[in-house]
Amino acid sequence: MGWLWAIIVGLVLGLIAKAILPGKQQIPLWLTVVFGILGSVLGNAVATWIGVNETKGIDWIRHLLQLAGAVLVVGVGDMLWASIRGNRQRA
C-alpha cells in the first residue's frame, strides 16, 4: 500500500507543481509522477532535518515543504528533459 500511496501523492504534487510553474512544461505524465515522488521525499528530508516532520494534527509545514520540493524537482527536471530531448532531435 505504501508504493500506491507514494504514486498517488507524487501524481498530485507533480500536477500541482506543474500548475505553479510558469509556462508549459515538456515532461510527460509518468515523469511528472516520478518528479513529484522525488520532491515529496526531498520535502520530507528537509522537514526531518529542521524537526517538523511529526507534529500534532495535520503537518502543514511538512506538506508545504513537500510541495516546494516537488516544484523545485519538476522545474529542474523539466529543464533537463528539454535539453536532453532537444539534443536528441538535432542528431
Averaged pLDDT for residues 61-71: 92
Amino acid at 34: V
- 16, 19, 38, 44 from 78: Cα distances, Å: 14, 13, 14, 22
Task: Return the sign of the alpha-carbon dihedral for residues 17, 29, 62, 44.
Answer: negative
What's the pLDDT tens digit per position in 6-65? 888 889 999 999 999 998 888 999 999 999 999 999 988 998 899 887 778 888 888 899
